[in-house]
Structure 1
């Protein structure tokens, strides 16, 4: 089955940066992006070390950093919070850098989608961001009366945890800035078809 390339429009609803040793972020008015991502951010760099997400490599193997930015949706975060039975899940608690408005089912945008921002930045989507217990523990820290949120988050946020992307064209992002998402032509690979 084949789907044609399409274009969608949206706006930046929030920007966040991690300053320090941890992945938790804080709101900012603008983000300067270079080819290494957000300068000084926890996830910046052209390369990164592998962890549990890449079991095919020994932990700590240096690889290309396709996780320079964590992109989220307020609508999906609200769905996750409802599933967890908590009032809210904030982007900064789970290391979000960019919250986008106007794209339904944001976490389901396919790999290779390009995000073209009005001020010139282009981001390339690598794929969905699988939820982890580290983010779940961060949420649990804000709701000490709710037991088991670290594991519950992993289930509740599956396919709603947002996307990871890398900088294809550097520049500066600002809150309220518009963008166009260009989804590539898609098809489902079936090895049995000739």
Structure 2
């Protein structure tokens, strides 16, 4: 190993892998593929395509504004099969927006979890292992958009500007997106463990 390579290794701080325990507080899905808002359900069946019949189900999806490196509508891998939210973070967003509440259904959530602090900041590659044996692999955080803000605004008709306020206040709190690594059926109240991989910050130079 060269001196430069040795120095680089010394400068990179590595955080060992660890686990965090949580619980499923609620499960939701769209009633039709064209819907955005979800409804509460007693269980969720997950396949390699996501939630069958849900808006975001599928092995592939069409690129959009989140993928400016592709022409809009390009077929690509669907790493956004499910939306995972934290009740604590939703309450924080509601406080920042001066609202009574924000429900997971309003912004298209599929999972409401508790017990995992700073859920939105879980790093990519994290595996959510459920008590049933089902596994979701986290792709990354879900950037808040005006579309979700409009859904929130529809529940507060007396407030103006909520569609634009949501993207401003919800960044870093809007939850995660991921895909199904191991299919199964999940029920509310089920334990879930976040398996967080070894982490590091890749240096620019």
SS in 2 for 1:38: coil
SS in 1 for 2:24: strand
Report the aligned-residue RMSD: 0.6
Q: Deviation of residue 168 (structure 1)? A: 0.2
**2-structure distance, mates of 1:22, 1:52:** 19
**1-structure distance, mates of 2:146, 2:45:** 29
Q: Can you give the 5+ residue segments of structure 2 that lack an aligned partner in the other structure?
A: 1-12
- Quick check: 1:10 aligned with 2:10? no
Q: Deviation of residue 170 (structure 1)? A: 0.1
Matches within 5 A, 1:11-160: 11-20=23-32, 21-160=34-173
SS in 1 for 2:120: helix
**2-structure distance, mates of 1:42, 1:114:** 23
Deviating above 6 A after TM superposition, structure 1's stretches of 4 or more consecutive aligned residues are none
Deviation string 1:23-57 (CA, Å, 9 cap, x unpaired) is: 21000010000000000000000000011100111
Aligned length: 192
SS in 2 for 1:150: helix
- Quick check: 1:169 aligned with 2:182? yes
